[in-house]
Structures are given as C-alpha cells and as structure tokens.
Structure 1
Amino acid sequence: MNAIPDEIAILANAGEQMIERLRQKAFLPEARKALNLRFGIAEAAQLLGCSTNRIRMAEDDGRLPPPVPTENGRRPGYTIEELQLMRKVLGASPSRPDGDMPAIMAVQNFKGGVGKSTVTVHLAHYLAIQGYRVLVVDCDSQATTTTLFGFNPHFNISRDETLYPYLSIEPTQDDLDYAIKRTPWPNIDLIPSNLELFDVEYELAAAGVDGQSVLATRFRKLKQGLAQIGRNYDIILLDPPPALGTISLAVMQAANALLVPLAATIPDFCSTVQFLSMMDQVIAQLTAAGFEIDYQFVRLVCSKFASNDPAHSMVREIMAKTFGAALLPTPILESAEISHAAIRMMSVYELDRAVGSAKTHKRCRANLDEVMGQIEILIKGMWTRQASADASLALTSQ
C-alpha cells in the first residue's frame, strides 16, 4: 500500500497549523491584523498636497478634531482613518472623476516566484495611503494575497466567501457583494481566496466541449461583476493564478490594464517572453470569439533586483533593450525589509518602525514609493485620457 498520499496530507495539515500559529503570533493580542500606522503632520501635509499650517487652521476652527496629546504632551501622528477625514474636509481626495471606470489592473505572470502577490499588496497599500479606494481580488487558490491581508485561507475563509459561488458552473450568487471583506485599511476591501477556489477550474474542465457556452459565460461574468461593484472603488487589483486556466482567462478579459512583474534572471526573462507570446495568442483567439479586451496600458516591472549584482544589472539592461518604454524605469529592489515585513505577514507600508536598520528601511520605502508612484501616474493617465476623449466628443457634437 502506498503511504505517500497520507504523508502529503500530514505535511499539508502541519503546514496549515503552523501558518495559523504564525498568524496569531504576528497579530497579537487579538490574533487579528491591526494597522498601527501614524503619520506626522509634515508627512500628512505632503500626502495631502497642502501646508502644515492649513491642517492646523482646520483644527483650530473646528473643521478637524484636534489630536489628543500623548501622556508626555507630544502631538501624536495621524492614523490612516484621520488622514482620510482630512482629505474629505480639505478637499484633497484623489478619487477618479465621476463617470470614469475604475482602473482594473491584473498583476499577472505565469512564472511563479516573481513577487506577484508582494507587488499587488504593496501597490494596494501605497494607493490607500495616497487616498484611493481600492478593492483587491485574490483570484489565486494559493491565496498568498489573502494571507498577507491577515486572513488564514484554511481556517478563516470558506469556499462560499471566495469567487467560487459566483463563477462556479452552478452559481449561487448573482453579484460579488457577498464576497467583499473589510481589511485593517479603511479604504481597502478584499475578495479573498482559498484552495477550494480551484474547484472552478475542475468544474469547467469537466464540462468539456458541451460546456463551451458555460466557459464563455464565465469569461464575461467576472468583468460584469466587477463593473457592478466598481462604482465604489477607484482602483481594482486582480491577483490571478500563475498559470493559464479558466480563472486567468476571466481575469485577462476583465482587466483594463496589465502589470507584469519579472525577476532579473535569464530564466525569468525567457519565461516572461513566453508568457507574453501566449497572451498575444490567447487575446487574438478571445477577440476572434467576440470578447472585448482593451488594456489602457501594459507595463513590466523588474522585481527582486539586487543593484550590487552584476548579473542582475546585465539582465535589467537586456529587459530595457527588449521592452523599451513598456518596462518601468525603476526596478523594485531586493530588500531585507520586504522579507522582514513578510515574516510578520505585512507589507513595508504597514511597518510602524524599521525592522532592520533605519537606513535600509528608508531606502526600501523610497524605492517602493518611486515604483508605485510611476504606476499611479499611469492609472491617473487612464482617467485623463477618458476625460479628454469625452471633452473632444462634446466639442465635435456642438
């Protein structure tokens, strides 16, 4: 009798138990993730694009509640909730223009280990700090993004809380409202995932040729569902599986922008070229079948880049020569601070203090801000182009 399946089950169970213990240790005392970020008045003013004096004046005239002094009489930093209120009172919200569609960005590569979920989570947190309303949709049954948001996919999330009831071959949900969960960030919501989401792939594969109409419906359904709830968000980030399957195809069709992370190695470069070739073929087939796919922008971002490694620099140069302007000008640096944050099931943006040296933390945060800021500019450009197109149409119709 082959005991290997039993051994695998034992190993999997032991791993799930350990993840839960790590999660509880990271999120003590209540075993739930909390956000302990504070922003000084100078940083808050910079984020809001105003002077510190304007914030103080709003506090003095009662438009903003004055901060409660600490025990030693010092002025405390502002929480992310207080920062959101300041944006509302001072008219500093960067939300998308009325009438524009939210940016729906897929962070996708069929090559594993490129930092896809890490990029997704850091981008979501950066955008939240800037004041945007963000929805993160974990479409990957490995559920790394769900874990980084403080949920244990094995213990805290059931199949009925994922995309499964909406995308399954016999759906029990007509919209995606049921799956939206609050996160510790007041302006980030999450649709979580767990291993059982993979059942969607099994079901649709089992449908075979007779299920072609079902497949077509599922490809369109995710896009339709996101359009229904998109009015509540500025940006929707999709984290799909690192493989070409039904869910990946649905994500591909639902997105209006694509971000492709790739590490600075030759195997990753070659794999990403194959991914792009496959995407090109699949998009052509989907378009021929009547599916509308329209990406406002496609960008690649070099991740896990070691600036002191000559091999990484060489591959980064190859990327630049190959992809040109489609490659973001700044790579995401490999940093111990990202690893330290991940051990705590956090992003660097959630750390209230440096884990390693202050210099390492500052360098890492500055690098992430620069990369994520470049993506933010692209997103805002989507709305600008839409607004310009609408204005041109209005002028020609007069």
Structure 2
Amino acid sequence: MNAVGNQIGDLAEAGERMIERLRRKAFLPESRKSLNVRIGIAEAAQLLGCSTNRIRMAEEDGRLPPPPPSENGRRPGYSIEELLHMREVLGASPRRAEPDPPAIIAVQNFKGGVGKSTVTTHLAHYLAVQGYRVLVVDCDSQATTTTLFGFNPHFNITRDETLYPYLSIEPTQADLTYAVKSTPWRNVDLIPSNLELFDIEYELAASGADGQSVLAARFRKLKQGLTDLAQSYDIVLLDPPPALGTISLAVMQAANALLIPLAATTPDFCSTVQFLSMMDQVLQQLEAAGISVDYSFVRLICSKLDGNDPSHAMVRAIMEQTFGPALLPVPILESAEISHAAMRMMTVYELDKPIGTPKTHKRCRANLDEALGQVEQLVRQGWGRITPAGAGEVLYATA
C-alpha cells in the first residue's frame, strides 16, 4: 500500500480506537449500555391513558407490584420494563391487532447531515415508551444507528451479524432471525451494521451479465425477509445508506411507508428535491421491471430546525409552500440536549436526568414527543385506529 493509503488507514484505526474509548467511558462499569430512565406516576398515567388512582388501586389489590421504594418520601418512578408490564395488566397496550400489517418505515434521504440516524433512533425510543414492539434495521455501512444503540461496529459487530449473510451472492442464512439483537429496551430489537455490509454493493456490481436478475432477486428477498420478521413487531424502522445504491433500492422496495428528514437550509431543500426526482425515476423503473412499490404514507419531516435563525424560518416556509400537506406540521427543533445525548451514544429518551438545564430538557422532550407522535398517528391511522384527517389537514393516509 502507498503512503497515502497507510496514512488513511492509520487515521481510521485511530478513530475506531477513540470510538471504543468513548463507548467504554459512556457505559461503565460493564461497557454495556443500560437503561436507567424512571417515569413518575403522573407521566405513567398519562402514557397509559388512565388516572393515577387506577394505578394505585392496581398496586393495592395486587394486580401490579407494590410501588417502587421511596427516596425521601418520594417515589423514584417506574422503569420502562415496569411500564410495559403496567400496560399489559391495565389493558393499555397500543399493539396492532393480528390483521393489521406491521408498519415498515424507511427513513431516507440521500443528503447526509439531515439527522437520518438521529431521527430513526429517537423515533424507535419514542415508540418504545408508547408501548410498541419495534425493530430497527441498520442498513447503512457507516453504522451510525448501530453506534447510537451502544455497539461499536468495528469491535463489537462482525459481518455475519449484519444483513450480509442473508443478502450476499452466496448467502449462508435463509431468514433474518440470526441478526436480531436485543437492546436495553425490552421492546426494541436491532439488526446492526458495520463497514463490511458494503461488500454487498461490490458483489452485485461484479455479478456480470446476470446482474439485473440477481439484483431483482435481492430486492424481493429483503422484502420477504423483513415482511416475515415484522410479524413479531408492530413497527419496523429501516435506516438505509444516504446514497442511491443496491441496498438503498432494496430498502425502498421493502418498506411500506417512507419518512424523509430534511434540514431547514437551502442546500438540504435542493438536495431533497433531487432525491424525490431520483426516487420518482427509480420507482418507475422498478415498476417497469415488475417490482412493485407501495407506500401507505410518504411524509417529510423538518429536522434540526433552529427557531432563532431567520434563514431557517424562511426555508421552512418554502418547504410548506412546496410540499404542502406532505410536510409534517411539527418540526424537530435543534437542541443541545440531542447533541449532548448523542455524545454519550444515547437519545434524549435514554437520559435519566437532564444534561443541560431541566427547562431545556423538558422543552426538547416535549418537542420530540409532538414531532414523532405525528408518525405514530400515521401508523395508527393505517390500522384504522384513528379517523382520517380532513382535506385541509396533514395526517391523512396517502401522499
């Protein structure tokens, strides 16, 4: 290898070692992510859609375990695990009914830096708090989502633990169950990724004259594998690469809904318009090849909006004028709390206490709940749990 290759390799290796140091520092003492979030009885009652008295009565009559031991006369709150049990006992689970199809949502934009992986992980944890069974599939070889779930893709994940053994030219796995990993959230599972997943792109590019048929077969295979696996979940979130490649196309075809994050800047807006144009052409080509693509909803969500930046407000207005009801009305606001949580390889929903001020944390959490709740409403509408919105409103079933 030449000097430039050696230098780049040294930089990459130094970076991987630093990621592992940060991971170990964040998750001491056992270097594994844990979930220490506690939810007070008032918030628990709100999430369950019941009164605090109903929870207390269930604790008194033995249907629920006794309340957590108090600290200085105050309850420390319930864990996510306890909250899930409360949902089962009190009949407050939002799970889909057996006939309802699992929502398989691709979170996609070909523009990097729009917060695609951040949106995916926060959406997964928001849905977990609401009580859904969630599977997150990291299809991006950069593996940002895998990292945010507390795994180091270089040290902790092998190629055989990614989608590779299932999608490769010479597959060694017949279904996707081998790749499913548990996370600190009992109702959230992960199929991780690492750099070696990109080998699929090389293999398919080198497949020769039979490349088109191999490609079509991989598209159908990923869709079938995810459809089968999704039967154990309510919602599946797919995080594809930010580029138009084989894996991205397979993910687009495997999904039954599309969420497009975009930041409130002119370059991001222009890039997203190009993404939509490319998607339109690709979908037409897939349809012509006999590969069907059908989405229950297509929505854009503005991410990383700085409410104090006039230029962001201008671009946001342009988005509304251009995309109309396809743009979700509540954006995800830029927040130091999100950035600080990401430094710890966490989401805001995993913080057991504010990193910044309590006011900043509360404002950030409220915005995330409202913004991500829009996606939940779309899913529930697809299950017939919510009446479709009027013609002048945003949350209706088709784009």
TM-score by length of 2: 0.95
Contact preservation (8 Å) 2:102, 2:236: yes
- For 1:67, give the aligned amino acid: P
- Secondary structure (helix, strand or coil) at the match of 1:258 reads strand
Displacement after TM superposition at 1:75 (Å): 2.2
- For 1:189, give the aligned amino acid: D
- For 1:331, give the aligned amino acid: P
Contact preservation (8 Å) 1:59, 1:65: yes
Residues 71-98 of structure 1, C-alpha deviations (whole Å, 9 max, x = no match): 5453221000000000000000000111
Q: What is aligned with 1:346?
A: 346
Distance 1:381 1:248, change over 3 A: same
Q: What is aligned with 1:261?
A: 261
Contact preservation (8 Å) 2:181, 2:191: yes
Equivalent positions of 1:1-398 (< 5 A) are 2-70=2-70, 72-384=72-384
Farther off after superposition, 355-364 or 131-140: 355-364
- Secondary structure (helix, strand or coil) at the match of 1:136 reads strand
Distance 1:17 1:168, change over 3 A: same
Residues 181-209 of structure 1, C-alpha deviations (whole Å, 9 max, x = no match): 00000100000000000000000001133
- For 2:365, give the aligned amino acid: R
Displacement after TM superposition at 1:37 (Å): 0.5
Contact preservation (8 Å) 1:256, 1:294: yes
- For 2:297, give the aligned amino acid: F
- Secondary structure (helix, strand or coil) at the match of 2:258 reads strand
- Secondary structure (helix, strand or coil) at the match of 1:292 reads coil
Displacement after TM superposition at 1:231 (Å): 1.2
- Distance in 2 between the 1:212 and 1:178 partners? 27
Which stretches of structure 1, 4 residues or more, deviate above 4 A after TM superposition? 385-388
- For 2:189, give the aligned amino acid: D
- For 1:104, give the aligned amino acid: I
- Distance in 1 between the 2:72 and 2:385 partners? 51
Contact preservation (8 Å) 2:381, 2:387: no
- Distance in 2 between the 1:219 and 1:99 partners? 25
Residues 239-282 of structure 1, C-alpha deviations (whole Å, 9 max, x = no match): 00000111001100000100000111111100000000000000
Unaligned runs of 5+ in 1: 389-398
- For 2:294, give the aligned amino acid: D
Displacement after TM superposition at 1:365 (Å): 0.7
- Secondary structure (helix, strand or coil) at the match of 2:383 reads helix
Q: How many residues align?
A: 388
Contact preservation (8 Å) 1:100, 1:386: no
Q: CA RMSD in A?
A: 1.4
More helix by share: 1
- For 1:133, give the aligned amino acid: R
Displacement after TM superposition at 1:150 (Å): 0.5
Contact preservation (8 Å) 2:262, 2:301: yes
Residues 198-233 of structure 1, C-alpha deviations (whole Å, 9 max, x = no match): 000000001133222111110111110011111110
- For 2:244, give the aligned amino acid: L
Identity %: 78
- Distance in 1 between the 2:171 and 2:101 partners? 26
Contact preservation (8 Å) 1:133, 1:233: yes
Contact preservation (8 Å) 1:260, 1:301: yes
- For 2:266, give the aligned amino acid: I
Contact preservation (8 Å) 2:134, 2:189: yes
- Secondary structure (helix, strand or coil) at the match of 1:375 reads helix
Unaligned runs of 5+ in 2: 389-399
- Secondary structure (helix, strand or coil) at the match of 1:232 reads coil
Distance 1:385 1:284, change over 3 A: farther
Contact preservation (8 Å) 1:67, 1:76: no
- Distance in 1 between the 2:289 and 2:267 partners? 33
Residues 14-35 of structure 1, C-alpha deviations (whole Å, 9 max, x = no match): 0000000000000011110000
- Secondary structure (helix, strand or coil) at the match of 1:106 reads strand
Q: What is aligned with 2:397?
A: none
- Distance in 2 between the 1:305 and 1:386 partners? 28
- Distance in 2 between the 1:206 and 1:125 partners? 39
- Secondary structure (helix, strand or coil) at the match of 2:370 reads helix
TM-score by length of 1: 0.96
